[in-house]
C-alpha cells in the first residue's frame, strides 16, 4: 500500500503497529527482558549480555552488525508496562521526531503471559507519508520477528531456572 492509495483514515491507522504473543513464563521473567531498553536491536537472537551504556538518561545499545541505537525510558511500571522513546542513531538529535514503543505484560488465566507491543508516532517522522510509511514497513514485519525472539529467549531462561535444583 502506498500513500497515494491511502485515505486519511487509513494513514491514521498506519501511524501505529500493534502486535502480541503468548509466552509460557511468569510476568517477572518477561519483565527482566522488556524493561531493558533496545532488547529488540538484534539479528534474530536476544543478547543475554548486550552492549548497553548510558549517556545521561539516554540508553545506547551497540550491536556488532546493526550499529548503535539510542532510547529514552519514558515509563517503567514493574512488571506490567514499559515505554521507550526510540531516539534512533547517533545522527539523530533529541529534536528529531521519533516513535514511542510500549510494552504490556498481561497474565493469562491458564498460566504464562501475553506480551503486547505498540509502536506509534510514525506519521511524525516525516511530512511525506511515503517516507514514514517506508520506515514503518520494516518495523511492521520486524515486530512479528522480535516477539518470537523474545518468546524463545524468555522461555529458554524460564526452563533453565525451573530445571535447577
| pLDDT tens figures, 12-23 | 889 999 999 999
Instruction: Please confirm whether the linkage preceding 163 is cis (ω < 30° from 0).
Output: no
Residue-range domains of the chain with CATH: 3-163 (3.30.530.20)
Condensed to tens digits (0 to 9), the pLDDT of residues 75-109 reads: 999 999 999 998 865 555 556 778 999 999 999 99
CA distance 103 to 17: 12
CA distance 151 to 130: 32
Condensed to tens digits (0 to 9), the pLDDT of residues 142-160 reads: 999 999 999 999 999 877 6
CA distance 147 to 5: 30
CA distance 12 to 102: 18
Amino acid at each position: 500500500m502506498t500513500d497515494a492509495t491511502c485515505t486519511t483514515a487509513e494513514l491514521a491507522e498506519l501511524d501505529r503497529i500493534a502486535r502480541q504473543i503468548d509466552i509460557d513464563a511468569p510476568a517477572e521473567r518477561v519483565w527482566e527482558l522488556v524493561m531493558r531498553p533496545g532488547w529488540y536491536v538484534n539479528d534474530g537472537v536476544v543478547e543475554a549480555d548486550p552492549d548497553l551504556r548510558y549517556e545521561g538518561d539516554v540508553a545506547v545499545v551497540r550491536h556488532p552488525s546493526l550499529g548503535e541505537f539510542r532510547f529514552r525510558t519514558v515509563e517503567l511500571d514493574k512488571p506490567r508496562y514499559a515505554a521507550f522513546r526510540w531516539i534512533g542513531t547517533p545522527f539523530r538529535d533529541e529534536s528529531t521526531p521519533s516513535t514511542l514503543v510500549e510494552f504490556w505484560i498481561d497474565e493469562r488465566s491458564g498460566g504464562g503471559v501475553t506480551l503486547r507491543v505498540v509502536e506509534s508516532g510514525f506519521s511524525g517522522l516525516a511530512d511525506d507519508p511515503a517516507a514514514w510509511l517506508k520506515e514503518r514497513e520494516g518495523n511492521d514485519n520486524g515486530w512479528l520477528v522480535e516477539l518470537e525472539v523474545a518468546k524463545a529467549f524468555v522461555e529458554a531462561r524460564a526452563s533453565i531456572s525451573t530445571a535447577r535444583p
